[in-house]
Amino acid sequence: MITISSREWRWLVGWASTIMLITSIPYFYGWWLSTPQMQFSGFFLGVEDANSYLAKMRMGAEDGWLFHLAYTPEPHQSAYLFTFHLFLGKLAQFTHISFPLVYHLARIVFGLTLLLTLYCFIAYFVSDLPRRRFAFLVAATGGGLGWLVISLQLASRLGLPLDIYVPEAFIFLVLFHLPHLALAESLLLGAILLILHSWQTGDWQPVLWAGCALFLVALIAAFYLGVFVVVLGLTWLALTLTTRSIQKTGTLLLKLAVATIFSLPVLVYDAYILRSTLSCVSGINKI
């Protein structure tokens, strides 16, 4: 069970807000420097990807819920893809707020959600308060030794460090510029906690909520489903090897399977769309 005191929540909210403020300072500075002649686009990292997100938001604002690949002249069917960014576009249209501002508001909201979920995830396994806080700050703001490679000018020999350009591997980069991954990681951590809670208590309702969370993960970033299966699959394997209660470990495996089934319709649909698109669209590598 997760036990977090009100004082602990205040500490968490304060630090989570501080972290998101730090990630927002470069954007505030960019907009402050912006002029009618030299306008700040709203992004520092992954500018090409970010501009494609804005294009998808515009598509969502102007059209329905179907995504159409604009990078090819070849005719093809629209599909239910990039739902997150299409939704942000509709939200921008409804609120009459610019696309970049809506994007960054989503970044802040889902960034805070990820930080709160991350702390709950840590608290599930760590009862000691100082260790909880230390683990949270390291996970939320830490990275690898990429700064050392850059400082010693070794990038030309060793290559660009992963913690510089792979946000899926480091939470701080996600907080900095990818709200859809922040939401997907929150749902992923929440689904894992729900399955573990259900396994400990015997209640099946959390499994259904975990399945709903994984369904949304599949819509936003389906590759995180692999993380879910691997983490809890290895957990089941370790418990099977170390415990004699085959019935209990079998129940965990069943709950893992039931929760994962919720995401299968999305995965099957994505596979169908990709297979169909590969056969008729030469520009699929630009999605």
Query: Is 207 a residue whose pLDDT tops 90?
Result: yes
**248 vs 183, higher pLDDT:** 183
Single-letter code of the amino acid located at 135: A
pLDDT of residue 287: 47
b/e 80-90 (16+ beta carbons within 10 angstroms → b):
ebbbbbbbbbb
Q: Considering the entire predicted model, what is its pTM?
A: 0.90
**Do 213 and 258 meet the contact criterion of CB atoms below 8 Å apart?**
no
Whole-angstrom distance, CA of residue 183 vs CA of residue 100: 18
What burial letters (b/e) apply to 203-237, b meaning 16+ CB within 10 Å? eeebbebbbbbbbbbbbbbbebbebbbeebeebbe
Over residues 240-248, the mean pLDDT reads 74
